[in-house]
Amino acid sequence: MTDQSTKTEPGPDGGVPVRTGLSPRKKQQISRAVQYVVLVAAVVFLLMRIEWGKLAENFAKPEVAAETLPDLFTVALKNTIIYSVGGFFFAFLLGLLFALMRMSSVRPYRWIAIAYIEIFRGLPALLIFLLILFLPLALPGFEVPGGTYGQGILGLTIVGSAYMAETLRAGLQAVPKGQMEAARSLGMSHARAMTTIVIPQAVRIVIPPTTNQFVSLLKDSSLVLFLGVSGEYVELTKFGNDMASTFANATPILVVGVTYLLVTIPLGYLASRLEKRQARGR
Amino acid sequence: MTPVNHAVEIRDLHKHFGKLEVLKGIDFAVDPGQVVCVIGPSGSGKSTLLRCVNLLEQPTSGRVVLEGVELTDRDVDIDAARRRVGMVFQQFNLFPHMTALQNVMVAQRRVLKRGRAEAEKIARENLEKVGIADKCDAYPLQLSGGQQQRVAIARALAMNPALMLFDEPTSALDPELVGDVLTVMRKLAEEGMTMLVVTHEMAFARDVADRVVFMDGGVIVEDGPAAQVIGEPQHERTKSFLRRVLDPTHTDV
Ligand SMILES: Nc1ncnc2c1ncn2[C@@H]1O[C@H](COP(=O)(O)OP(=O)(O)OP(=O)(O)O)[C@@H](O)[C@H]1O
Ligand SMILES: [Mg+2]
């Protein structure tokens, strides 16, 4: 597609080179034509190979889709949102705590924060959920407060907090040093200056990346499946999985997928809008 | 115990940054109502000196005594002491997430614990005093540099400081905006505010300052009445600095 093969030779008197062979424009036209041909061939092949009736029967059966209502929204989506909003909320608080510890002047605090962040950023989310599942074995008598919701939220909190800590630290460090100095010169204590001047600005800075982190937590909430939840606690993925088994049909999976996208695509769009607005300055 | 006759008194102040000794024994005092301008070449330690006065930098050794309270005492309540000293920065350092009015109110509310109505009244008075009463609801980024700097002055004044520190308050401004800020500062001086001003504005130093201090290489080279230090400097270093500042196109390189 590039014009590496276009031979050029210096023109007479070393002026504009004289081209030999096809012009770059011609080459581009040919390359584009080839790409279209490949695309059409692939589409035709798929159209002929796929048994459309069977596919629709399995993935988009209206009767089965209808069966998912209203629980799809009133139970499954609601729970997905409870798990992910709860997880996000606590991940934010815990992340802020670790970000501040990471920047503390007390060295052991920095060590603890670094250890926490490195460990939980490096572990697969699923492993963390399994860990929570087996927690009662390790700590007999220990119970996560809030029951099933508590367990799911705890898992997502741990998954999200390490990333959140790093994002917030970047945000805190992006606030110019002069802000803290101006606040201190007005007689504010370090803690007061942090809470009224520095943290609010840092939070504004990290809104776009944390919106993306929320989307990522929303998807990770599907891991609640592995906690063995049932009944009123199921979230979207578990719900789709159960329904698909019940009807021996994949339609619920598709329906659930669309429901995720209903939330994640607008949020992703919002995040990039916020990011652009910030790039333009305030 | 130091008698309470100086607004601020600095004794044998040293400041190191690692191996670099930036202040090499500074002695001077500012009396209540005095305006002292600090001039000197870049890197001579002017900002560092100013920042040591309100302990934004911790002095390596020496004493800083503000209204009889030794700030360099390790057990002093530094937040309380800083309330008595206003600081105006070269880069303004307004809080960008707050309106002009909120900028002037926030420390009154949080530090002095003034009520909302009182804080707002004092904020509006001070914004009026610096000539931007009509910009109360604007955010810093909607203001020109000159307007931002005046909000910053109002913010410091609202705390009723006994001493105002200015670190090159007009150096980041477009030339046509410098005058607005200097006018405000001159008015403050005439009202009897005690001021310590680092500046390159020689006209301001000559007209407004009671005393001018010339610093070079971390020491005070010359300290005296404005007319003397700027008009008839005694030291060669002062003379050559003033030549360069007052007549920049005729510098012998
Ligand atoms: N935080 C710091 N860490 C290390 N070195 C510093 C620090 N702050 C200042 N210095 C150094 O101290 C010296 C004096 O700096 P200072 O800012 O006080 O000079 P200044 O007289 O205000 O100069 P200017 O006119 O450029 O503002 C400079 O060499 C500077 O590099
Ligand atoms: Mg300076």
Mutate which of A175, A185, A198, A278 to disrupt the B interface (most B C-beta within 10 Å)?
Answer: A185
Tell me which chain A residues have a C-beta less than 8 angstroms from the C-beta of B90: none
Provide CB contacts within 8 A for B228, sequence distance 6+. B234
Angle (CA) B47 B48 B49, round 5°:
90
Tens digit of pLDDT for each residue in B65-100?
998 889 888 888 888 888 999 999 999 999 999 999
CB contact under 8 A, A192 and B141: no
Q: What integer is the mean pLDDT of A109-121?
A: 95
Does A243 score more than 70 pLDDT? Answer: yes
Q: What is the rounded CA–CA span in Å between residue A43 and residue A47?
A: 6
CATH number of A61-280: 1.10.3720.10
How many Cβ pairs closer than 8 A exist between chain A and B?
65
Comparing CA positions, the residue from B5, B30, B84, B34 lying closest to residue B192 is B34
User: Cβ contact (<8 Å) for B107 and A201?
Assistant: no
Please work out whether the CB of residue B218 comes within 6 Å of at least one atom of ligand 1: no
Q: Which residue has the tokens 């330690």?
A: B45
Q: Whose CA is nearest to atom 13 of ligand 1?
A: B43
Residues forming beta bridges with residue B164, ordered by sequence position: B86, B195
Confirm whether B36 is domain-assigned: yes
**Tokens coding A166:** 């790093």
Question: Strand B195-198 relative to strand B35-39: parallel, antiparallel, unpaired?
Answer: parallel
Which chain B residues are within 8 Å of A178, Cβ to Cβ? 89, 91, 93
Compute CA A167 distance to the chain's CA centroid, rounded to the nearest angstrom. 14
Interface confidence, given as ipTM, is 0.93
Domain residue spans of chain A: 61-280
Query: B155 and A186 in contact by Cβ < 8 A?
Result: yes
Q: What is the largest CA-CA distance in chain B?
A: 58
Which residues in chain A have their CB less than 8 angstroms from residue B71's CB?
none
- Domain count across chain B: 1
Two tokens, residue B79: 């937040």
A62-114 confidence digits (pLDDT tens): 777 777 788 888 888 999 999 999 999 999 999 999 999 999 999 999 999 99
- Determine whether the shortest distance from the Cβ of B45 to ligand 1 is under 6 A: yes
* Cβ–Cβ gap A186/B111 under 8 Å: yes
Q: Tell me the two tokens of residue B118.
A: 């009182």
Largest Cα–Cα distance in chain A? Answer: 91
Q: How far apart are CA B158 and CA B126, in angstroms?
A: 6
CA of A194 to the centre of ligand 1 (A): 25
Residue A76: predicted pLDDT? 87
CA B48 to ligand 2 center in whole angstroms: 7
* Ligand 2: centre distance to CA B216 (Å): 12
Q: Name the residue type at position A97.
A: L
Q: Which residue from B16, B37, B46, B221 has its CB within 8 A of the most atoms of ligand 1, so it is best to mutate?
A: B46
For residue B189, which amino acid is it? A
B163 touches chain A (CB under 8 A): no
Nearest-CA residue for ligand 1 atom 9 is B48
How do residues B129-179 score in pLDDT, each as one tens digit?
Answer: 999 999 999 999 999 999 999 999 999 999 999 999 999 999 999 999 999
The answer, yes or no, to whether any atom of ligand 1 lies below 6 A from the CB of B39, is no
DSSP bridge partners of A238: none
3-state secondary structure of B113: coil
Ligand 1 centre to CA of B23 (Å) is 10
Over residues B174-196, mean pLDDT: 94
Q: Is B89 on the interface with A (CB under 8 A)?
A: yes
pLDDT of B250 higher than 80:
no
pLDDT at position B2 is: 47
Q: How far is CA B237 from the centre of its chain?
A: 24
What end-to-end distance do the CA atoms of chain A give, in Å? Answer: 42
**B37 vs B250, more confident:** B37
Question: CB of B97 within 8 Å of any CB in chain A?
Answer: yes
| pLDDT higher than threshold 80 for residue A10 | no
| Cβ <8 Å between B87 and A189 | no
What separation in Å is there between the alpha carbon of B46 and the centre of ligand 2?
6
Query: Which atom of ligand 1 has the smallest separation from the CA of B41?
Result: 25
Residues 6+ apart with CB under 8 A from A28: A1
DSSP B162: S
Query: In this structure, is residue B176 part of a structural domain?
Result: yes
Instruction: Give the single-character DSSP code of A262.
Output: H
Q: Quick check: B197 and B182 in contact, CB under 8 A? A: no
Residue A13 has pLDDT above 70, yes or no: no
Residue contact A183–B87, C-beta within 8 A: no
Exposure string of B7-29, with b = 16+ CB inside 10 Å and e = fewer, is bbbbbebbbeeeeeebbeebebe
Smallest CA-to-CA distance from B87 within B66, B115, B72 is with B66
Contact assessment for residue A185 and residue B85, using Cβ atoms and an 8 Å cutoff: yes
Q: Which two tokens stand for residue A241?
A: 């999985």
In a domain, B156, yes or no: no
As a whole number of angstroms, the distance between CA A50 and CA A52 comes to 6
Cβ of residue B124 closer than 8 Å to a chain A Cβ: no
CATH number of the structural domain spanning residue B170: 3.40.50.300
- Contact list in A for residue B152 (CB cut-off 8 A) is 182
Q: Do A181 and B139 touch (CB under 8 A)?
A: no
pLDDT of A214: 94
pLDDT(B1) > 90:
no
Q: What pTM did the predictor assign?
A: 0.84
pLDDT the model gives residue A11: 53
Q: Is residue B242 part of a domain?
A: yes
Task: Please tell me the least confidently modeled range out of A206-210, A231-235, B197-201.
Answer: A231-235
What is the DSSP pairing of strand B163-167 with strand B195-198?
parallel
The range of the structural domain enclosing residue B206 comes to 8-95+165-246
Find the closest chain B residue to A179 by CA distance. B93
Mean predicted lDDT score pLDDT of chain B: 92
Atom of ligand 1 nearest to the CA of B45: 18
Cis-peptide into A70, omega within 30 deg: yes
Q: Which two tokens stand for residue B235?
A: 């030291």
pLDDT of A69: 82
% chain B with pLDDT above 90: 85
Cβ atoms within 10 A of the Cβ of A115, count? 10
B231 lines ligand 1 (CB under 6 A): no
What tokens were used for B221? 């080279």
